Amino acid sequence: MDDQANKPARGRRRKKEFRCHCCKQEKPFCWSCGCGFQICPACFEENKWGMSNGPTWICPDCERVHMME
């Protein structure tokens, strides 16, 4: 039997859409959480004092901890 027939077709990923939850604008990049929260770099800098301790940031919606990458 042909192994290629059982493999899923490869394709490009769908373009990720980013909309900041703070400024409500579409952006080319946002820090994102699995719960759906997104924040653009400009808004993140304004709110960094309450969300980050340096190497990590905490989602204000679900309180998950994320690494800054």
Predicted confidence (pLDDT) per residue in 4-21, tens digit = 556 666 665 556 899 999
- With a cut of 90, say whether residue 54 has pLDDT above it: no
* Number of domains observed in the structure of the chain: 1
Q: How far apart are CA 64 and CA 12, in angstroms?
A: 29
Q: Is residue 25 part of a domain?
A: yes
pLDDT of 59 reads: 95
Is 34 domain-assigned? yes
For the stretch 24-34, pLDDT in tens is 999 999 999 99
Parent domain of 58 = 16-67
pLDDT value at position 14?
Answer: 58
pLDDT score of 21: 96
Please, how many CA atoms are within 13 Å of residue 8, restricted to the half-sphere of its CB?
Answer: 3
* Assigned domain for 1 exists: no
Asked if the structure places residue 9 within a domain, the reply is no
Residue 47 confidence (pLDDT): 93
Average pLDDT, the chain: 86
User: What is the sign of the dihedral through the CA atoms of 24, 20, 17 and 37?
Assistant: negative
